[in-house]
Structure formats: C-alpha cells, structure tokens
C-alpha cells in the first residue's frame, strides 16, 4: 500500500507515464527464438549481453534485436498481465520504489515527474528496470533529475537493490563487461560456442567461435582475452 503523502503528491501531477494505447505501443516485430546453431542469434546475443551489463539492464536499444532474450522492454511488449496494462505496472512499480526510497531516506522527498523507459524479466517474481525523472522537493535547489531503480516483487516480498541517479556516460564507459559464458549444443559431440573479447566497434562487442578453445585455455589466458 502506498504512503498517502507520496500518493497524493504524485497524483497532483498529470500522469506522464507513457500509455501503450497513446504513444508507446506494443511492438509489431515478431521476435524469434534463437539457438546455438544460428550465427546471427549468437552475434545479437553478444551485443545484448554487452548492452545489458554495461547499463545494468536499464538502457538497451531494442530496435536492433530480432530475438527473444530473458530481459525485454516493458514499454513495447504485449501485455504481461490480464488484470493491468503494462503502463499501470510501470507506474505502480515506479511509485512503489519512490515510496520505499523516501521511507529509507527521511531527509528526501522524491516526487515522480515523468517516465523514461522500463525493461523487465521474470525471476521468481517480476523484476523491473525503471528509468524516470523525479524531483527531490526537500532539496535546497529542487530540480528534476533522471533516476534508475531495479525493483523485484512477488506479492508482499520485494527487493530494490538499485535506486540511484542515472550514471553519467563516463561512469558507464568504465564498466568492464566480461564475455558471456560458453553456450552448449544439444549435440554433446559439438564443441561449445565460446565468446571472446573484441573491441566494441561497429556494434560487435564480442566475437565467438565453435572450436571449444575454452577447454584448452589456461585461466590466465582466458582472463586476458
């Protein structure tokens, strides 16, 4: 249940969460299910892994992906609930995160301003990666800033491991993303697909091979790739 003061302040503002029936619409792109025999899937998976880990799940350019990954855009996905629209879920989770943040920081009076984006994945419950504008009205110089919150909920259980101002680009650039773990085929005789480090040029942050070299690299060699 939301804290009354927070709910009242948020509701005093016009609802600026993007609505799927007016603005951000469900994508008409039919996403494909990938497999380890599909080189294009592996290429896109490497790109997705890089973007996901670089932004910690918050900022992903979904338009360039043709495959289903565990994390997806909540703004453009088909409805994930029969009872509520995706926009209603986004608003509920955003206000919930702000409420818990204000409760934990009594000197703060953060108020929601405007939705930016939301990603999600099912992980026992529903895990959302929310980006939004908000203003700390308790600040001596209140101004709207972009925040990010990672919120996991399952009925009355919840966890908010991340609630922060959106990192600056140089902070994100400094994050070192390790290659994905090897992928294995259903055919046990085939070597695993091994992802190797490559410079993030032309949108290809990792390269992969099917040689099974992972088994022949020492730990020192692998860490240096």
The string of DSSP letters for 122-181 reads: EESEEEEEEEEEEEETTSSS--EEEEEEEEEEETTEEEEEEEEEPPPHHHHHT--PPPPP
The span from the CA of 181 to the CA of 179, in Å, is: 7
Tabulate helix, strand, coil % of the chain (nearest 5): 30, 30, 40
pLDDT, averaged in runs of 10, over the chain (225 residues): 34 43 60 94 95 96 96 96 96 97 91 97 96 94 95 95 96 91 89 87 83 49 42
50: tokens are 């890089």
State the CATH architecture for 4-27+75-171. Answer: Roll (3.10)
- How long is the chain? 225
Beta-sheet strand order (sheet of 72-73): 72-73, 110-123, 125-136, 144-154, 157-165
| pTM summary value | 0.82
The span from the CA of 194 to the CA of 181, in Å, is: 7
Q: Output the pLDDT for position 178.
A: 92
Query: How many of the other CB atoms lie within 10 Å of CB of 55?
Result: 18
Q: Output the pLDDT for position 82.
A: 93
Q: Output the pLDDT for position 136.
A: 94
Break the chain into its structural domains and give their ranges: 4-27+75-171, 39-67+178-224
Q: Which H or E run contains 99? A: helix 86-104
């Amino acid at each position: 249940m939301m804290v009354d003061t927070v709910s009242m302040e948020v509701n005093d503002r016009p609802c600026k969460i993007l609505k799927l029936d007016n603005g951000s619409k469900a994508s008409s792109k039919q996403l494909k299910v990938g497999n380890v025999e599909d080189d294009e899937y592996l290429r896109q998976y490497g790109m997705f892994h890089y973007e996901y880990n670089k932004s910690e799940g918050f900022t992903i350019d979904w338009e360039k992906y043709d495959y289903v990954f565990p994390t997806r855009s909540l703004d453009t996905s088909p409805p994930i609930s029969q009872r509520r629209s995706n926009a209603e879920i986004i608003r509920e989770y955003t206000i919930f995160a702000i409420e818990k943040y204000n409760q934990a920081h009594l000197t703060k009076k953060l108020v929601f301003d405007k939705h930016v984006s939301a990603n999600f994945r099912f992980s026992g419950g529903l895990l959302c990666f929310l980006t939004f504008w908000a203003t700390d009205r308790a600040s001596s110089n209140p101004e709207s800033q972009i925040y990010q919150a990672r919120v996991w909920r399952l009925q009355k259980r919840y966890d908010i491991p991340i609630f922060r101002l959106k990192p600056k680009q140089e902070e994100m650039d400094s994050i070192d993303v390790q290659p994905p773990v090897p992928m294995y085929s259903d055919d046990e005789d085939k070597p695993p697909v091994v992802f190797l480090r490559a410079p993030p040029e032309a949108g290809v942050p990792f390269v992969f091979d099917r040689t099974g070299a992972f088994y022949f690299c020492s730990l020192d060699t692998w860490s240096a790739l």
